Amino acid sequence: AQKVTQAQTEISVVEKEDVTLDCVYETRDTTYYLFWYKQPPSGELVFLIRRNSFDEQNEISGRYSWNFQKSTSSFNFTITASQVVDSAVYFCALSLGTYKYIFGTGTRLKVLA
Amino acid sequence: KAGVTQTPRYLIKTRGQQVTLSCSPISGHRSVSWYQQTPGQGLQFLFEYFSETQRNKGNFPGRFSGRQFSNSRSEMNVSTLELGDSALYLCASSLAGVETQYFGPGTRLLVL
């Protein structure tokens, strides 16, 4: 079965703190894609990053970084020096190339000023 | 490049009515997917269309249907609305379905 688990329902941090959002996935397929999306209060899902199963290189984009580890089936997302504008719900998703995404339940991040 | 657009943005219907939601994908994208988002069930896949053909379908009753037109625009229809159909309906487009999906702003449906 394919599944994405985001165990953290809600996280609150104070501005400028670092925060890591966890994502654990399950699949027996060897080819798959992992994604992170951000959903601000407006509701639109904003694409952040995509990783395929053959690329375990970590990635950094500004204050955002992603750690993909196939050995633990995890694809974690870290925000460094968080800002109030980072407050949103973050979703991790898995795609097996079957034209649908399997989403985790999301982690609500609250960054307090 | 314009993003994915969805109309209408908000809808209020009563039980038993039917509703049609529209989605226009990013220019050049031929795959359109639909998702339902509710507080209790999260993001659930409804169906995906490519070149006017449905290629995958989620576990939703037959009251939920969709179609895609030759210009890749897509519509979804929900007949005999139930209170539980109140949700945010999100449309996403991609080039061919397996790449990154880009989402529209959603249609918020409230069923009274």
pLDDT value of position A75: 96
Cβ contact, residue pair B98, A105, below 8 Å: no
Residue of B nearest to A47 (CA): B102
Residues B40-57, mean pLDDT to the nearest whole number: 92
Residue of B nearest to A101 (CA): B45
Q: Point out which residues pair with B67 in neighbouring strands.
A: B75
Banded model confidence at residue A108, pLDDT cuts 50, 70, 90: very high
Residues B61-67, mean pLDDT to the nearest whole number: 97
Residues A57-80, mean pLDDT to the nearest whole number: 92
- Using CA atoms, how far apart are residues B84 and B112, in angstroms rounded to an integer? 10
Which tokens go with A42? 């407006």
Spell out a b/e string for A21-54, using b for 16 or more CB atoms within 10 Å of the CB, else e: bbbbbebeeeebbbbbbbbeeebbbeebbbbebe
Per mean pLDDT, which range of A5-9, A59-63, A98-102, B57-61 is the poorest? A98-102
Cβ contact, residue pair B98, A50, below 8 Å: no
- Using CA atoms, how far apart are residues B89 and B104, in angstroms rounded to an integer? 9
pLDDT value of position B6: 97
pLDDT reading at A98 higher than 90: no
Cβ contact, residue pair B48, A99, below 8 Å: yes
Contacts of B108 in chain A (CB under 8 A): 43
Cβ contact, residue pair B31, A43, below 8 Å: no
Banded model confidence at residue A1, pLDDT cuts 50, 70, 90: confident
pLDDT value of position A26: 96
- Which candidate from A44, A99, A105 shows the least CB-CB separation from B103? A44
Cβ contact, residue pair A47, B102, below 8 Å: yes
* Phi, psi at B61, each rounded to 5°: -65, 165
* Phi, psi at A58, each rounded to 5°: -70, 155
- Which candidate from B35, B56, B103 shows the least CB-CB separation from A98? B56
- Which candidate from B55, B90, B106 shows the least CB-CB separation from A99? B55
Are A1 and A99 in contact by the 8 Å Cβ rule? The answer is no
Amino acid, single-letter form, for residue A72: T
Cβ contact, residue pair B105, A42, below 8 Å: yes
> Would you list which residues of chain B are within 8 Å, Cβ to Cβ, of chain A?
31, 33, 35, 42-43, 45, 48, 50, 55-56, 58, 88, 90, 92, 97-106, 108
Half-sphere exposure of A8 (CA within 13 A, CB side): 19
Cβ contact, residue pair B56, A99, below 8 Å: yes
